[in-house]
Structure 1
Amino acid sequence: MSADDGLAGFGYKQELERTLGNFHTFAAGISYISILTGTFQLFYFGFSFGGPAYWWSWPLVFAGQLMVALSFAELAAHYPVAGSIYNWSKKLGNPHVAWLAGWMMLTASIVTIAAVALAYQITLPQIASFFQFAEDPAVNAVILGGVLILFTTLVNAWGVKLMATLNSVGVFIELIAAVLLIIALAVNITRGPSVVMETHDKGAGQPWGYFGAFLVASLASTYVMYGFDTASSLGEESHDPRKNAPKAIMRALIASFVIGGLILLFALMAVGDINNPQIDTGGLQFIVLDVLGSTVGKIFLIAVVIAITVCNLAVQSAAIRMMFAMARDNNLPAGSKLARVSPKTKTPVVPAVITGVLALLILVVNINQPQIFTVITSIGIIMIYLAYLLVTVPMLLKRLRGQWPPPEQPGQKYFSLGKFGLPVNILGVLWGGAVVVNLAWPRRDVYNATPPYHWYLEWGAVLFVGIVGLVGFGYYWFVLRHKTGVLADHAAIEEVLGD
């Protein structure tokens, strides 16, 4: 038996319940990306820095992420296992690289739970003033976000069936609403598609002219189009994951690109006054209400709230699987407790609670230090892209050595890039490196936009990523690596020979 043949090939026994079908895995990937969440949360950012021409960052980011997703689809076919990024890196590289990839992804996912929860504040008070419980928007954001995190924690702890059902229903509503929104905006267009060539003179004063402004604006798209690997993170709970996970990864990314790109394009074409300064602050929420009116617009904003909810559900679900995957290798403190699967719910309950509590603690930072929270959110996304690189770089090295792809099981045909594998992998690595540099570049406009100005905030992304990486890896190197290994309670019953 090949070492990559199911869970036994990883040395694990089946503990999580296989209940998820094709749409469940697709929904997990697309809800993590969550077009309505990301575009409505970040449109204002891209527009304020790049004007209408920021739209071009959407296809640019898609092209780069497509190279990564294609590589991930190959990996999902061979290694459909929980904590996909961590386990893929372990198979492609070594335990040390794998731990760092898992650590980066886990930390980033917990930060992302808090960041997504803040999106409630951007949308709910615009639906009804009832949701503005506190006068201070930052405090109110924490209240609303805290309620969301409590809900997603309870659902994820209850079991994968409930999580998958709510997620699938939410994604179905989100997709229907997104298509209807595209149609509604399209029938109200007031200008042609040439609007995406307008820069609104955003490059003025920039050292690199509009190119410099565009690089900043492109962060809005970069912050959205990731998380498609979640479709494979649920591999141990899915039926026929070798076949379904690669398709789910690709469908989630492509559907998100098409739907999101059309929403952004038609919004720019439909808004009454493209020069209205309120677009810089109100974003897509303002445009929808401006174009469709209060009543219809608020109906679509309700769909956005549903999208935010299932997005947080999916992000936390992925974080739980990552914590579980690392813990059963004894690669986290108190591994045996973190890796315990509830016999009743067939779910790792302790990771659900811990990820929820940690996300709430991070959320509280937003009350008095919103600039620090912005830095924390950004480094979370940087760490996800770094984790992706810790998969694509070892994969490229394997290809160059002629060690990838591994042999297929007899009678099975896996998703394969064939002769295109090497150039796609190279482009994915180059893209990932460029994105990390652009994300981490010390820009005051991004990391320290308002007084007081501090050098450590401007350089916050570089400093915090470095601290998280070094401290985490230091703990692993001096403490955990001496204990690492599949815990006895989770080991495969029969010993499986290696490749």
Structure 2
Amino acid sequence: MSAVEEAGRKAGQTELLRDFTATSAFSLAFAFISPIVALYSIFTVGLTMVGPGFWWGFPITLAGQMLVALSFAMLVSRLPLEGSIYQWSRHLLGPTYGWFAGWAYIWTLPIAIAAVSLGGAGFLAQFLGLDSTSKPVTIMLALALIAGITLANTIGRKFLKVIIGLCIVAEIIGSIGLGIVFLGLYQVNDISVLSEGVIDPATGGFMLPPLLFGVAIAGWAFVGFESAGSIAEEVKDPQRAVPKAMIYSLLFVSTIVAFSALAVILAIPDLAAVRAGSVADPVAATIEHHLGPVGLHFMTATFVIGFIACMVGLQASVSRVIWALAREGDLPFAKTLAKLSGEDRLPVNAILAAAVMSLVFFALSFTNIYMMLLTFTTAGFYISFLFPALAAAYERITQGVKPSSFNLGKWSGVVTITAAVWLIFQTANISWPRFAELPWYENWAVLLVVSILAVLGFIVRAFLPKR
């Protein structure tokens, strides 16, 4: 019996409705990655900590992540199952290995939602003319955003498609449109500024430490393409549709992010002030300098929509992973979490559970613990990716080629193994303690949080029914 047939047999009355198309899967992955969130969440950090040369982290990270996307595309064409990372790992190396893959992913995504809700609340406050530095304002708006995306995810697939479609239009205006305007009309700096911070003036070669930090920063920008696999059992002809959605979403978003970043860097009126940390928000300052308050207000609206789109995609993805684990009896309250509701047969209880988890992490956003969790978030994606990537590489080495609808022929093994090596490198690169001035628990936050989650995972796993 194939993995797909096995999933259908176990689903019974909880079989999902196949109402998403290849375009829907692409759109969800596009929204999850979100060019606006991908870029503007890391832009200020990259400029101030590395310099304009942090831009080189984008093409390097894209090359590595494209290997991962191709490897995952081969996996999902064989195993088009809800829950993506969890299911692939489970079917390749067994239930326990798969469970910990799902466990890592389930923790990563709600933390990301909480973080993105804070960023979105800041832009929303600016758009509404409220004090974006006020904690009560930030709290109320962030909670409203989480409530809004939860409603969007539970009301029905058709409504969800419309929301994501509108968000993508806003993303394109806010990223591509702004980039074209800046490059065409408001270029201030020469492209040679991209050497600042990463090129040694004496030798003309790359300086490895800042370049690696730029790659680590860019790591946040190119995750989320795997979310198309999280809804595989809701997609028509998933063996062919989902691999394309993964690859195209990564290619489109990465191109937009790199283009927009280049345009903004070249349009910044005072790079020295930005590098010195004198400009709190270089993107907003650059937009207002060139386009005035009206232009800034319009662009802020597109930024808000971009953050909402990202949150919708994040919550949809994690809810499907929760549902997939619950269907297998791999979570507490499994029967409740595996229930599907309404004519659209949506995992409403799993969506609500994801919302509650996000609210818990949001409540921690005003503590030092949250900084540790936030540091873990980017690394958490790559750690989660490592589970199926390592399993796929092991299978390729020990068992050879497996037939799939999507494959790369003689290059399949090279891509699969190299993707795993890249993920090991990038996980270590992101987790590396670079700042001696920080408290030890923040410098080693990734290792510390991983250790805590691993121990907690073993405890939870011990109380689950043996399978």
Q: State the distance in 2 between where 1:295 and 1:389 align.
A: 45
Q: Single out whichever of 121-130 and 300-309 deviates more from structure 2.
A: 121-130
**Where do 1:148-187 residues align within 5 Å?**
148-187=145-184
Change (3 A) 1:92 1:403: farther
Give the CA deviation at 1:145: 1.4
2:187 corresponds to: 189
Q: State the distance in 2 between where 1:401 and 1:457 align.
A: 39
2:432 corresponds to: 441
Q: State the distance in 2 between where 1:5 and 1:189 align.
A: 52
Alpha carbons 2:33, 2:221 under 8 Å: kept: yes
2:68 corresponds to: 68
Q: Does residue 305 of structure 1 match 2:304?
A: yes
The superposition leaves residues 257-286 of structure 1 with CA deviations (integer Å, 9 ceiling, x where unpaired) of 111101001111111122123576313232
Q: State the distance in 1 between where 2:278 and 2:228 align.
A: 34
* Greater helix proportion: 2
Q: State the distance in 2 between where 1:404 and 1:195 align.
A: 46
2:235 corresponds to: 238
User: SS of the counterpart of 1:262?
Assistant: helix
1:465 corresponds to: 450
Q: State the distance in 2 between where 1:8 and 1:230 align.
A: 19
Alignment partner for residue 419 of structure 2, among 410, 428, 434?
A: 428
**Where do 1:318-337 residues align within 5 Å?**
318-337=317-336
Gaps of 5+ in 2: none
Q: State the distance in 2 between where 1:91 and 1:397 align.
A: 13
Change (3 A) 1:182 1:3: same
Give the CA deviation at 1:128: 4.2
Equivalent AA in structure 2 for residue 472 of structure 1 = G
Alpha carbons 2:319, 2:347 under 8 Å: kept: yes
2:280 corresponds to: 281
1:419 corresponds to: 410
Give the CA deviation at 1:139: 4.4
1:411 corresponds to: none
Q: State the distance in 1 between where 2:174 and 2:444 align.
A: 39
Q: C-alpha root-mean-square deviation of aligned residues, in Å?
A: 2.3
2:375 corresponds to: 378
Q: Does residue 357 of structure 1 match 2:356?
A: yes
Equivalent AA in structure 2 for residue 391 of structure 1 = P
Equivalent AA in structure 2 for residue 189 of structure 1 = Q
Equivalent AA in structure 1 for residue 195 of structure 2 = M
Change (3 A) 1:354 1:131: farther
Q: Does residue 141 of structure 1 match 2:138?
A: yes
The superposition leaves residues 404-423 of structure 1 with CA deviations (integer Å, 9 ceiling, x where unpaired) of 32x35xxxxx1111111111
Give the CA deviation at 1:217: 3.6
Matched pairs, number: 459
Alpha carbons 1:44, 1:280 under 8 Å: kept: no
Change (3 A) 1:194 1:200: same
Q: State the distance in 1 between where 2:283 and 2:60 align.
A: 20
Q: State the distance in 2 between where 1:280 and 1:66 align.
A: 34
Between the aligned residues of both structures, percent identity stands at 26
User: SS of the counterpart of 2:41?
Assistant: helix
Gaps of 5+ in 1: 204-208, 409-413, 485-499
User: SS of the counterpart of 1:227?
Assistant: coil
Q: Does residue 19 of structure 1 match 2:3?
A: no
